[in-house]
Amino acid sequence: MKILANDGISEQGIQLLENSGFEVITIKVAQEQVANYINKNNIAVLLVRSATKVKKELIDSCPSLKLIGRGGVGMDNIDVDYARQKGIHVINTPNASSESVAELVFAHLFSGIRYLTDSNRNMPLEGDTRFAELKRDYASGVELKGKTLGIVGFGRVGTAVAKMAIALGMKVLVNDKKDKTKDVTLDFFDGQKVTFTLSTTSLDEVLRQSDFITIHVPHQDDYLIGENEFDKMKDGVGIINTSRGGVLDEVALIANLDSGKVNFAGLDVFEDEPNPAIQVLMHPQISLTPHIGASTHQAQERISIELAEQIISILK
């Protein structure tokens, strides 16, 4: 049985699948050629990440497909319900990348509070001639300890972010579509564990009380954070989006950065991905990454292993 891992898969996953009798193909096929390749090579399993789209037209034109796998959490690039109606298994890996995404959130937070984005642009150009001035410009950073982090979306990634924030001494406010109370346990290197109980609160409360806000929600039909929501935030807030493009109004973000309402932003996802707006890319107060939240070696290994184990369980 043939598997096309069109957006890649780690060696550990390949080994597990091959040991179970699958043939794994890792060639990258252009989106417009995916259906032809599947049909020509009698592909039974299509594995994707966010790059390859698996919509109704592709599903209809590929009768050999038995399973579609998404290496990651969100599945908005797959017509999931339609595929399942056609008898095709659809799987993802919701547990594998939470830690990696959460760490990227804090990479953006640290970059924002210590002006690292702008400093790393200017030091190579002016560090040898304006060192004292740049030192003065970037000397007003703040610490995360004691500040309030608002987490919008209290799923696996939101929970991982909450753990890291608590470990740094931050106060945590969480919002979710569902009211929930969750025990969050921090595991330390020496085997000790400390459990905190967190309860969700309203989005308005998170917006009004947080020094920094980070978004962890699935694809939305409309902006979750737009002009009205920015108006409710503290002056000087920092905001991070590593979830999905389109949940944050980038035009409103730029306006609020320029006005000083928002001090900085960190973006790993974009409204017009993979062609982000030039105003976003060039803004000195935005820390930027190209949708790499889950792109660590450890996360990719976990994703591949989790996909392989599910495929083996379902098809063998």
Q: Which residues are catalytic?
A: 244, 273, 291
How far apart, in whole angstroms, are the C-alpha atoms of residue 286 and residue 193? 36
DSSP, collapsed to helix, strand or coil, labels residue 147 as: coil
* CA–CA gap between residue 245 and residue 62 (Å, rounded): 29
User: Distance between CA atoms of 67 and 41, rounded to whole angstroms?
Assistant: 15
CA dist 91 to 46, 258, 305, Å?
11, 42, 13
- Whether residue 54 contacts residue 295, with contact meaning beta carbons closer than 8 Å, is answered with no
Q: Are 265 and 289 in contact (CB under 8 A)?
A: no
Q: Token pair for residue 112?
A: 């924002």
Spatial distance between the Cα atoms of 101 and 216, rounded to a whole number of angstroms: 10
Taking the C-alpha atoms of 299, 302, 308 and 310 in order, what is their torsion angle to the nearest 10 degrees? -110
Cα–Cα dist 154/151, whole Å? 7
Q: Which residues contact 48 (CB under 8 A, 6 or more apart)?
A: 6, 7, 54, 68, 69, 70, 71, 77, 78
Nearest alpha carbon to residue 68 among 38, 91, 35: 91
Which ranges in 25-89 belong to alpha helices (H)? Answer: 34-41, 56-60, 80-85
Measured distance CA(104)–CA(116) in Å, rounded: 14
